[in-house]
Structure 1
Amino acid sequence: MSPAALIWLPRFLTHLSSERRLSAHTDVNYRRDLELFAKYCEQQQIDDWSRLDSQHIRAFAATEFRRGQSPRTIQRRLSALRSFFNFLLRELALKSNPAVGVQAPKAPKRLPQTVDVDQMARLLAFRTDDELGVRDKAIMELFYSSGLRLSELVDLDLGDVDLRDRTVRVTGKGNKTRVVPVGRFAIDAITAWLRERGAIATPGDSALFVSKRGGRLLQRSIQVRIGRWARAQGLGVHMHPHMFRHSFATHLLESSQDLRAVQELLGHANISTTQIYTHLDFQHLAKIYDQAHPRARRKSRGTG
């Protein structure tokens, strides 16, 4: 790549940091990705950005895939190239974007992490000896009972929970409101917390869950407390708030087989988002099949 062509790289990176104000982490990744692509161009004896076409970009993506890079990494590198070439278009240094329409190999879907029913029962079976323990139990019971996102739970106000109706009004993504049932164990735990809340809450604060300083509890504090309880209960997995939501959906689907109802309870706009839990349910069924079906059992050693 010629020096005249390479001069556009620092200009683009300055544009990223000053005009688009991307994070330092994104800035570092883009710099690395673009420098890697410039080196690839040199190996291919391409001396100017205007000589590139979509075939060059596809060949670069294929080379990265053969080198063992993950589809996610390749997608990020293609995204960096598209942004860079759009910048060159804006600066009239290119007439078209050669990276448009070039796709990375499909990444395998990551299945959500869950815990089974016994693990969840063990986690929630702790003694509440102080106000914070009572609060934490109410938080975790509500997470598991109603499948809330962490941000949704943090934003709950006192008026959002109807103990008599056993429901909670949740404001989810896109500022959409849904009303979700609350189970008996969660109702009992929230009732116990409300008896303790007044001792630590700042007067006039509307938050359902407050910190020991009296104000609305922060997301990070909930993450830390849940991890601490999971270790104390000997759960053996790294527990985080979203695992309650995943476990709620998985356990409900295993019992009801009603995907549409699970979609409504989770607040998913599209049922395709909820369908990830059918893969988990199938894994559960396949495991039972392998253990129980006589034709699925492996032959014991020594039998012919």
Structure 2
Amino acid sequence: MKILVTGVAGFIGFHLAQRLLAEGMQIYGIDNLNDYYDVNLKKARLAQLEPLAGFTFQFLDLSDRLGITQLFQNQTFDCVVHLAAQAGVRYSLQNPFAYADSNLSGFLNILEGCRHHQVNHLVFASSSSVYGANTKVPFATSDNVDHPISLYAATKKANELMAHAYSHLYNLPTTGLRFFTVYGPWGRPDMAYFKFVQAVANNKPIDVYNYGNMQRDFTYIDDVIEGVVRVMHKPPLADHQDTLISKAPYKLYNIGNNSPVELMAFIEVIEKALGKQAKKNLLPMQPGDVYSTYADVDDLMQDVGFKPGTPLEEGIERFVQWYRDYYGY
């Protein structure tokens, strides 16, 4: 199989490409290497991929309509895994247009490419942030998600709606994956766990929002990749019966650990892995943040026979080991 992976220099894209290349697939990866976080880390991930047989990389921005059009004209893909996006909840308050360019216009370019070139399955990244102000837990894909509390979340919900429209209109099989706080080696420096480890390792205080009264469904990267790979091989059918209204070949899944952890308990796991105490700077809730995330993964288990399950202690230990190796700590 030949797979297009967008955002291949990103955290999830990098790990997915490694996994699929190891399984003998051809990977065509694109990325614009934007500077939202350390570009050198993205380049280091690419440096791991580029020597591998079957890997091709192209520097390309999602919002480059002509470039994306030419990509689909010049290459043939069995499946597209769309992971590229302008990430980050808080950053969307400072730079909203980046989210429109990448997450809306860019996603439309991908949809058009898939539509016109008979791609068998489009798998795309959504986010647990779409649940917004929801208070019912665990979060299920059947829940109403009409109340996003950040522009980032709104763009991810828009992606789900856009994908459904294309599935309905053009019979394009699409699957959206709502990721829940993904962590692990080669992770994103803008994420809390990375910032916490970095700060504690360097004897600096950590910012703890909502005075630590938060919960997150932390999901280890290998579990996320296993979920993505299984879903890739199961395109939704036009006659599936999971809703009363839509008969489009379209499906949504949560990819989460199904086990939320209190933020203070999470910090304790990091302290134990590093063998150091954190200095905590307790702060109020930030705009766009949610109190809790908690994934219902019954559909994932039912359809592809998998649910994430890596214990937090094990996952953080692996991340800390990578951090020590990469940064020489």
TM-score calculated relative to the size of structure 2: 0.22
Q: As a proportion of its length, which structure holds more strand? A: 2
Q: Which has the larger radius of gyration?
A: 1
Q: As a proportion of its length, which structure holds more helix? A: 1
TM-score calculated relative to the size of structure 1: 0.23
Pick 1 or 2: higher relative contact order, CA cutoff 8 A, min separation 6.
2
